[in-house]
A and B are shown apart, each in its own frame.
Chain A
Amino acid sequence: MMSWIAFTVIAGVILTAALQVVQSEDLVRTVFWLALTLIGTASLFVHLDAEFLAAVQVLLYTGGVITLMLFGIMLTRRGAGVRIEHGSKDKPKALACGIALFGAIVYSIYSDKQTANAQISDMAGTEELGQLVLGDLVLPFELLSLLLLAAMVGAIALARKVDP
């Protein structure tokens, strides 16, 4: 019962916030609604006993990516006190696409027996996840970090105006 109430509240928050992300016309508010959406998703992960995923979600997406978005807004804004407006056009088409995507995701989950019958207790805890990432999958994991490093160096090289 408690679990059901918690799920309903979290789902409500996520849906409201996500709707506001596309509906809001003020860019800054959009970013804050997106942050709320991500925090809601993290709560959903906690609800499903995936605590590690939740903490990483908050730490990286909310604490990192959203903050960088705010920086982006700050650094590109012209003049003080100007509201940055943005709108979404052609809402019926967007709605149709959204419903189609939702249908595709639901179908792909239920058409596969393994995902359709998955239980929370089957999921790996933090320890198993750590063993997997730093054990069996250590090479792809390190390659990914190398890729990110290369991207970062590239970004700095591109953003730099003159060679020292």
Chain B
Amino acid sequence: MSFENPWVHGIVLGMIIANVALGITGYSIWFERKFAGRMQNRPGPTEVGPWGLLQPIADVLKLLQKEDIVPRSADKALFNLAPPLTVFAVIGTMAVLPVAPGWIIADLEIGVLFALAMASLLVFPVWMAGWASNNKYALLGGMRSAAQSISYEIPLLLSATVPIILADSFRIGDIVEAQLGGNLFAFWPPGPGALAFILFFLCSLAESNRIPFDIPEAESELVAGVTTEYTGMKFGLFYLAEYLHTLIISAMAAAMFLGGCDGPGANDGFIWMLIKTLVLFISIFWIRWSYMRFRSDQLMAICWKLFLPLGLFLVMASALWVHWT
């Protein structure tokens, strides 16, 4: 069987991409702790290995050793099923991620839609975890998470429609190709592209429950949201899924609005994709350690009164741009 065979292609490339992403995710936790530390004028992890570089490995070993507790009144099957499903839904999105020219697991005709559909599936395992825990804080966290996700999905879809209209294709490969030669959608056409990029980025933050959209796990009210009852590696899987999701939305935004693998002097393009993704990824940490979370009512007001009309306007503006040029 050759590499051209879709099964071989998918499995080999999928293994490589998923493992690289997991590696980056593991080290991003170290990076975030260092970054947050420096922002708050403290050193961050320093003890385990040089500059604390072995910290993520130590963390995982610690999580693996922890006792696995299942609450007596929990719905055992659903309780155990939820953490792996969260990771599954996030990794599924990677199938349409263009890592470098020609390096994409499946360049589907409906790539963007597939990625958004997979991300929308993430609501289930989170809600499932909240329900199965049989704990009021977990349930409230799951509830808030589901409400937030389905609300912000609408402006997210609308903002993702802008590059689709500009590139005249659902295929992520075509969207990247339409931006070749520095013609990034975030800058050209002036206006709708840049706003759609910001909108996409903020809605993705809301989808992945990151600050400032993290009321589903507001510590002061909900203990730890859906993860309250989880211990050991099951908690670790939720954590992993959250960071992986953040990494993937950065990569999606980089591909859809910042030209993906295209850049000056790029031979293989992977390095540009990596730089763009990491810049967005780090800016998420930056936002996290700089801002407070929104209140529930602010969250809903922003979504329905600001993002939704803005999204509709951007779709119309980009359609008019394509129509007149």
Enumerate chain A interface residues (CB-CB to B < 8 A): 2, 26, 28-29, 32, 35, 39, 51-52, 55-56, 58-59, 62-64, 66-67, 70-71, 74, 80-81, 125-126
A63 touches B117 (CB 8 A): yes
The 6 lowest CB-CB distance pairs between A and B, nearest first, are A63-B120, A58-B117, A55-B113, A59-B117, A55-B117, A51-B110
Asked whether B116 lies within 8 Å of A80 as measured between CB atoms, the reply is no
Q: Is B187 an interface residue (CB 8 A)?
A: no
* In the complex, B146 has a CB within 8 A of chain A: yes
B121 sits at the interface (CB 8 A): yes
Contact: A63 with B114, CB < 8 Å? no
Count B interface residues, CB 8 Å: 29
Residue B270 lies at the interface, judged by CB distance under 8 Å to chain A: no
Contact A126 B117 (CB under 8 A): no
Hey, which chain B residues are within 8 Å of A39, CB to CB? Answer: 121
A53 (CB) vs chain B CBs: closest residue: B110
Tell me whether A67 and B114 are in contact (CB under 8 A).
Answer: no
Binary interface encoding of chain B residues 4-45 relative to chain A, with 1 for a CB under 8 A from any of its CBs, else 0: 000100000000000000000000000000000000000000
B77 to chain A, nearest CB (A): 8
B146 touches A55 (CB 8 A): no
Nearest CB in chain B: distance from A62 CB, A: 6
Contact A67 B73 (CB under 8 A): no
Q: Which of A28, A64, A81 is in CB contact (< 8 Å) with B150? A: A64
- CB under 8 Å from chain A, chain B span 128-149: 128, 131, 134, 136, 139, 143, 146-147, 149
Interchain CB contact under 8 A, A81 and B109: no
Which residues of chain A are near B147, meaning CB under 8 Å? 71
Distance between Cα atoms of A64 and B118 in the complex (Å): 13
Chain B residues within 8 Å of A2, by CB: 7
| A138 to B146 Cα, complex, angstroms | 33
Whether the Cβ atoms of A81 and B146 lie closer than 8 Å is no
Instruction: Please name all residues of chain B whose beta carbon is closer than 8 Å to the beta carbon of A35 when the two chains form the complex.
Output: 124
Secondary structure type dominating chain A contacts: helix
Write the nearest CB–CB distance from A160 to chain B, whole angstroms: 17
Please measure, in the bound complex, the distance between the C-alpha atom of A26 and the C-alpha atom of B139, giving whole angstroms.
17
A59 touching B124 by the CB < 8 A rule?
no
A63 x B150 contact (CB < 8 A): yes
B78 / chain A contacts, CB cutoff of 8 Å: 28-29, 32
Contact check, A59 vs B127: say whether CB atoms are below 8 A apart: no
Please state if B113 and A63 are interface contacts (CB–CB under 8 Å).
no
B interface residues, Cβ below 8 angstroms from A: 7, 73, 75, 78, 108-110, 113-114, 116-118, 120-121, 123-124, 127-128, 131, 134, 136, 139, 143, 146-147, 149-150, 153, 170
Asked if A126 and B153 make an inter-chain contact with CB atoms under 8 angstroms apart, the answer reads no
A59 to B131, CA, bound (A): 22
State the CA gap A64–B154 with chains docked (Å).
Answer: 11
Interchain Cβ contacts under 8 Å between A and B, 22 examples: A2-B7, A26-B75, A32-B78, A32-B128, A51-B110, A52-B109, A52-B113, A56-B113, A59-B116, A59-B117, A59-B120, A63-B121, A63-B123, A63-B150, A67-B123, A67-B124, A67-B149, A70-B127, A74-B139, A80-B134, A125-B109, A126-B110
Nearest Cβ on chain B to A50's Cβ, whole angstroms: 10
**In the bound complex, do residue A80 and residue B109 qualify as a contact, i.e. CB atoms below 8 Å apart?**
no
Nearest residue, chain B, Cβ from A55: B113
Q: Which residues of A contact B146 (CB under 8 A)?
A: 67, 70-71
Q: Which of B108, B128, B139, B150 contacts A51 (CB 8 A)?
A: B108
Q: Which residues of A contact B150 (CB under 8 A)?
A: 63-64, 67
Query: Closest residue to A125 on the B side, CB-wise?
Result: B109
Q: Which residues of A contact B116 (CB under 8 A)?
A: 59
CB-nearest residue of chain A relative to B168? A127
Q: Closest approach, in angstroms, between the C-beta of A67 and any C-beta of chain B?
A: 5
Residue in B closest to A77 when the chains form the complex, CB atoms = B139
Contacts of A62 in B (CB 8 A): 117, 120-121, 124
Q: In the complex, what distance in Å separates the CA atom of A13 from the CA atom of B147?
A: 29
List the B side residues contacting A63 at CB < 8 Å: 117, 120-121, 123, 150, 153
| Closest Cβ neighbor of B7 among chain A residues | A2
Residue of A nearest to B113 (CB): A55
A80-B139, A126-B110 are known; give 6 further A-B pairs, CB within 8 A: A29-B78, A58-B120, A59-B116, A63-B123, A67-B123, A71-B146
